[in-house]
Amino acid sequence: MRTATVMPVLFIGHGSPMNAIEDNAYHRSWRALGQRLPRPRAVLCVSAHWETRGVYVTGADAPETIHDFYGFPAALFQVRYPAPGDPALARRMVGLSQEFHLHVDPGRGLDHGAWSVLRAMYPEADVPVLQLSLDVRLSGPEHYRLAAVLAPLREEGVLILASGNIVHNLALFRFHSHEQLAWAWRFRTEVNALIEQRDHAALCHYENLGPDAALAIPTPEHYLPLLYALALQREGEPVETFNDEVISALSMTSLAIGLDS
């Protein structure tokens, strides 16, 4: 099914799960974003919080809300995001790639990397949502190539939403002081410059970006969703940056690719 509108692509720095329920600047920015976007047929979310061996896409009719965290207020665990799934779209995705074999997971729900953002963007939970997993066996360039095969979905009304954080080191996060750490600021700034230069090859080989990279990306799952968004950028498409803040050892930098101003 093709539409007249090519859907934008998003990378969202999702940060704390509390952003799902707090009336803060991040939640408000996601709500405003949902109002600016063309109405999607469905949302495909690539979240930092679903890692697998192999590539999987959710195929449930009614995916459950997964509370994949601990130590937060009871109100957060009470949140339900009852968006429908789209099993037909999941089956369609299986045929997109010959290099990467996609599997349908009929039981997997939506983790907070997806619903914490979507709860603000589409509070009625009336847009079907699927998730694509991160295959832990793939390198940065392989994730980028996999993401590129999703390109036809943009013309089929599917909003691709990558959800993670470019800088994400909770071991070094200073919970009692949100002052940005120098190395986190430097790495965020370097990555922003490479995005502006469209040097996607350098961003795929993130481990070669210098000593700050090892601190910013101690494990890759929060960074890798960025590559899924960048791989879908078309020639000449603008990139709008927002929430471009560093909080201690975490960056909230977010991108909207191909979104009309």
Could you report the per-residue pLDDT of 211-227, keeping only the tens digit for each?
999 999 999 999 999 99
pLDDT value at 258 more than 80 = yes
User: Residues 52, 134: contact at Cβ < 8 Å?
Assistant: yes
CA pair distance 58, 51, nearest whole angstrom: 13
Residue 98 pLDDT > 90, yes or no?
no
User: Mean pLDDT for the chain?
Assistant: 96
Task: Say if domain 9-257 classifies as CATH 3.40.50.450.
Answer: no
Treating both helix axes as pointing N-terminal to C-terminal, what angle do 112-121 and 25-36 enclose, rounded to 10 degrees?
A: 70
Residue 131 CA to residue 129 CA, distance in Å, equals 7
Contacts of 139 (CB under 8 A, 6+ apart): 204
Strands 158-164 and 9-13: parallel
**Tens digit of pLDDT for each residue in 19-74?**
999 999 999 999 999 999 999 999 999 999 999 999 999 999 999 999 999 899 99
Read off the pLDDT of residues 143-183 as tens digits, 9 standing for 90 and up.
999 999 999 999 999 999 999 999 999 999 998 888 899 99
Q: Domain segments of the chain: what residues?
A: 9-257
What burial class does residue 100 get, using C-beta atoms within 10 Å of its C-beta: 0-12 exposed, 13-18 middle, 19+ buried? middle
